[in-house]
Amino acid sequence: MLTLFTAAAVLAACAGLRWFLNRPERKDAFFWGRRIRLTALWNDGAAFSLPLKRKLVTALSILILPLVWVFRRRSPIGAGLALGGGLSNLWERLRRGAVYDYVQFPKLPKIGRYVWNLADLAILIGGLLLALLERKK
């Protein structure tokens, strides 16, 4: 139940934030001493600019999401984060052919050049929790 609640919350937060930020009148903005940049980028490829085609990324998402569900007992919150973020990006990819990315961390070494969205961050944190934690019985 915790996994489903977490996934639903992430999915709703991703949809709400995308709706709020994807407006033509919104301009790029910097926050927290230029450490965070809100921008707009439609990404039809894979995360971290991996050279994967859109159809392959979509197919991999469809195959991986059920596996996340299988491992939900390992970390219910981690699975919920990964499922919610994965479903959000998959839904957007199926609907629009691309994912709307909007946040960048320009001062971070190596990853500062990438533009993310909330779903990407949820997938990353959820994947780490699934990999590192095991639920105590």
How far does Cα 130 stand from its chain's mean position?
15
120 is catalytic: yes
Among candidates 129, 124, 119, which has minimal Cα distance to 2?
A: 129
101 is catalytic: yes
Active-site position among 100, 114, 120, 126:
120
Task: Please tell me whether residue 113 adopts helix, strand or coil conformation.
Answer: helix
Q: How many helices (H) and strands (E) does the chain have?
A: 4, 4
Active-site position among 6, 72, 77, 101:
101
Which residues are known to be catalytic? 101, 120
